[in-house]
A and B are shown apart, each in its own frame.
Chain A
Amino acid sequence: MKEVKEIPVELFKRLRTTCAVIEAAINTGAPSLAELDIEALLRDADDYTKKIVGMLQPDTVDAALRPKNRNVTRAFVQAYGEYLDFVLDGIQKGKKLVYHYFESIPQVLLSMDMVPVCVETIPVLVAALYKDGCEEEIDALEAEGFPAHLCSAQKGFLGAYLLNEIPAPDYFLKPSVPCDPSNLLFQYLSKLTGSPYIIFDAPYYTNERAFNYYKEEIDDAYQKLIKMSGNRLDENKLKEYVALTNRQLEYIYRIQDIRKNRPCPDPGFHRPMDFALYTIFGFSEKVVDYFKTVYEEAKERVEKGVGVIPEGKEEIRTLWTWAFEGYDLSIYHWMEEEYGATYLACGLTILPEEMVGLIDDHDLDSMLEGLARLTFHYPMSRQVTSFADVWINDFTRVAKSHKADCAIFSGHMACKHGWALNKLLSDAIREEAGVPTLRFEMDIADKRFTPPAEVKKMLSEFFETVKH
């Protein structure tokens, strides 16, 4: 077994430290960055922590400290921090490390005593938290001859491996969807590291034939993993993780529902954190706490009749029909404060209750079926995997149910299939819900493509034209 210092874990360590710092900052009670006594905060901190603090994006920290965002952010860093401890600890102990795509549910991997890490979450978090994002990593991968138009959520991760910031895993696990770029980059990393790449094939339709095929694929993938690793699947442990998952799902469904209220009672700053925690569904009690906090705060606001926008501002209810930009999260706070623009839902967090429901935990088969259903209808994967109708129908439905005033298609440049349906989507939203769509190009984990200032400018221009 390799000694710890030989295994590159810089990126995990950095994120772990960051979670701790943000938690400490929030605990000081300072309601904004300007009011935070950074000196006092860092008085007993080591050099590494001080260095990390210097790297943080000030706007993001500022938004995190704001009263309406702080509690949920604290719950997030506590949950994610604990998870990163688990990852670092697991790597040290030589547990099997599995890099997976965000719709590959980790519950089974956890009950096989493995360490699951979602490849996509890392670059997006890095882009969101640090001034330089994962630009160096992206450039490192592109230097190998890969075109820039591939997805930064994978480019960042592969680059991190090339720069020795993350270790090689024992296995890669991915469905064959949602897109070619993600498939190809996983394939490349598998080739570089020599670690096996286990693929489960996703079908093109969303009917029962398709689901049954998919479920079999997922079962086969896990069987393969069990055989290759020699680890066994602990059914009792799986039951625990499934129970946690169900409690999270309950909150998630209620949270999605509560945003139908006027004004919207749930800050948009939370959405990227939702996305990150979906990828560790079922991991821990703290993950449940996060969703509980989101829900209860929103519920309290509804009871008090308040929203998340300043008093007296007219609300502009926005529906993000694709992804969010992941490199300046403070924008979701800024748009509420500046324009009263609230965030109803988005393609990276939408999870239809009527499709997924809760997971039946009475035996292994029912649990695997429930998890397969969750994977099948996972945010983005469900909308993207097959015909455009799914995406279009899902979002016109939400536009109506949540009474959106406008839609925002924040188009990630690697999603060719997404851009290929952008007009069909915005036409449908205009026809069914009567609202306009702002379309803009961006790169989800690379601010250089469309810098935050430009995003703000486009949003401003758009909000100024929206009639409520």
Chain B
Amino acid sequence: MYIGCDIGTGYTKGVLMDDDGSIKASLIIPTNANPRDASKMIIEDLLNEMDLKDSDIKACGSTGWGRSYVSVEHKELSLINSIAKGVNFVHPSCRTVIDVGAQHSMVILLDEKGQVLEFRQNDRCAAGSGRFIEVISEALRVPLDEVSALVLNANERVNVTSQCAVFAESEVIAHVNDGKPVDAILAGIIDALGRSLVGIAKRLSVVDDIFVSGGMAKNDALIKVMQDHLNKALNKAEPDPQLIAAIGAAIFVKEVG
């Protein structure tokens, strides 16, 4: 068995992978600003779920922002390579992956072997990643997992033009006080994020098949916005787009031995 974990600033993701590459168990827990504890917990929980011991694990691969904080012996792989490897493993037809995490978003072009050809990340600003949606939905008192449905059913959309997440928050508050409906405001920020992501993608001249991974890929409204603006078909990475990098890390240690 191999373990792959992706320790992000928001969430820690882990997968348990068998010798044949099948994923036996997976888990997503909040990092809670403590990557060491999070990695320890996730490994323990994965082992418990499958009734395994430490000795059953051949190797552990780690990636993400907190990749060096893993408590057990492990090998590290960069996030970009993990995403590429992971999506290539699950979807060999993938040539472009758009990954949207809590604090980053990136677009990666890869070849049939999962080798990264080129990549581009969002500029250093939270307005280009999941955290932006989190902050705003918190301000609007809407649980994150309800955002997509609200946006898909919204009748109108309020324009959010601020280039900065902090200013965008004030803009949103102004809209709320002007009586704009919550779903219209959410539609506005999802649109803003979607356009920003498409902007990154366009800087790279994307190639089919295009997959979306990362936590924010679970937001169908966001995917729809991106599809509309990019004018290309987008596919959500399986089995859970948030696990792609962890899967990549597991594949990595499995290959390296």
Contact = CB atoms under 8 A, between A and B. Distances in A.
Check A-B contact in the complex, CB < 8 A: yes
Interface of A: 423, 430, 436, 439, 441, 450, 460-461, 464-465, 467
A467 B203 contact: no
Contacts, number: 25
Nearest to A466: B116
A242 B79 CA distance: 52
Contacts of B116: 465
Nearest to A449: B124
22 contacts: A423-B203, A430-B118, A436-B118, A436-B119, A439-B120, A441-B123, A441-B124, A450-B124, A460-B78, A461-B78, A461-B80, A464-B77, A464-B78, A464-B80, A464-B81, A465-B78, A465-B80, A465-B81, A465-B115, A465-B116, A465-B119, A467-B115
Contacts of B118: 430, 436
Contacts of B80: 461, 464-465
B79 A461 contact: yes
Contacts of B117: 436
B175 to A, nearest CB: 28
The interface residues of chain A, by DSSP majority, are classed as mixed
Interface residues on B, range: 10 to 19
Interface in B116-174: 116-120, 123-124
Q: Name B's interface SS.
A: mixed
A442 to B, nearest CB: 10
Contacts of A460: 78
Given A436-B118, A464-B77, 18 more contacts: A423-B203, A436-B117, A439-B120, A441-B123, A450-B124, A460-B78, A461-B79, A461-B80, A464-B78, A464-B80, A464-B81, A465-B78, A465-B80, A465-B81, A465-B84, A465-B115, A465-B116, A467-B115
A461 B108 CA distance: 12
A441 B124 CA distance: 8
Contacts of A467: 115
Nearest to B116: A465
Interface of B: 77-81, 84, 115-120, 123-124, 203
Contacts of A423: 203
Nearest to B205: A427
A450 B125 CA distance: 12
A460 B68 CA distance: 14
A284 B78 CA distance: 47
A423 B200 CA distance: 11
A436 B84 CA distance: 16
A464 B117 CA distance: 11
Contacts of A441: 123-124
Nearest to B123: A441
B169 to A, nearest CB: 21
A467 B116 CA distance: 8
Nearest to B111: A467
A455 to B, nearest CB: 12
B99 to A, nearest CB: 13
Nearest to B202: A423
Contacts of A439: 120
A441 B78 CA distance: 20
A63 B116 CA distance: 31
A439 B117 CA distance: 15
A436 to B, nearest CB: 4
Nearest to A406: B118
A430 B203 CA distance: 13
Contacts of A430: 118
A441 B203 CA distance: 16
A467 B118 CA distance: 10
Contacts of B84: 465
A465 B81 CA distance: 7
A430 B115 CA distance: 17
A356 to B, nearest CB: 34
A461 B124 CA distance: 15
A467 B80 CA distance: 14
Contacts of B78: 460-461, 464-465
Contacts of B123: 441
Contacts of B115: 465, 467
Nearest to B117: A436
Contacts of B119: 436, 465
A415 to B, nearest CB: 15
Nearest to A441: B124
A461 B67 CA distance: 13
Contacts of B120: 439
Nearest to A458: B121
Nearest to B125: A441
A436 B109 CA distance: 11
A453 to B, nearest CB: 12
A411 to B, nearest CB: 10
A446 to B, nearest CB: 14
A312 to B, nearest CB: 18
- Interface pairs A-B: 9 shortest CB-CB: A465-B116, A436-B118, A464-B78, A461-B78, A461-B80, A465-B80, A464-B81, A423-B203, A441-B124
B96 to A, nearest CB: 14
Nearest to A435: B118
A423 B123 CA distance: 14
B33 to A, nearest CB: 18
Nearest to A465: B116
A439 B80 CA distance: 15
